[in-house]
Amino acid sequence: ATNRTFTMIKPDAVQNGHIGNILAMITNGGFKIVSLKLTQLTVADAQAFYAVHAARPFYGELVEFMSRGPIVAAILEKDNAVEDFRTLIGATNPAEAAEGTIRKAYATSIGENAVHGSDSDENAAIEVFLHSISYTE
Ligand code: CMP
């Protein structure tokens, strides 16, 4: 069924000038962009978004990275959106990402890996909801 997922173009990819190319890969992949926002996460936003990783050794680095510059946050719609978007972005580690994936093309390292994609329908619903109520001044 048609459903939704949540993505962020991360600070590395924005800084490196890849917003346009990544959005093109997303739309060429059959995803409809139903919300789009250029914004920047505060440290508190990033801590909350990645709370599930709070015990990991890379958590501090991850929060620092995700809040260091602008991001593009978007809601995407497609049949089987969550799984198909994870296929399009590729493996977390760009060294393991398949040809034709966004991370193969634009990620620089396992930490600075260009894009986020929701990892389950349940998390997609949470992240879509957070997006819809966030970044208001
Ligand atoms: P993502 O899968 O979108 O969400 C969790 C993020 O944590 C992941 O992308 C990476 O950006 C980051 N991450 C995962 N593993 C590592 C690692 N070993 N070192 C640094 N960052 C990591």
CA 33 to the chain's CA centroid: 13
Cα-Cα-Cα-Cα dihedral of 78, 40, 97, 89, to 10°?
A: 0
- The HSE-up count of residue 43 (CA atoms within 13 Å, CB side) is 3
Q: Is 78 close to ligand 1, i.e. is its CB under 6 Å away?
A: no
Complex confidence, ipTM: 0.92
Does 78 appear as a known binding residue?
no
Beta strands in 19-133 (DSSP E): 32-39, 71-79, 115-117
Share of the chain above pLDDT 90, in %: 93
pLDDT tens profile 15-71? 999 999 999 999 999 999 999 999 999 999 999 999 999 999 999 999 999 999 999
How far is ligand 1, taken at its centre, from the CA of residue 61, in Å? 9
Counting the structural domains of the chain, the total is 1
**Residue 2 is which amino acid?**
T
Q: Which residues are catalytic?
A: 116
Return the CATH number at 23: 3.30.70.141
Whole-model pTM: value is 0.95
Q: Whole domain around residue 19: which residue ranges? A: 2-133
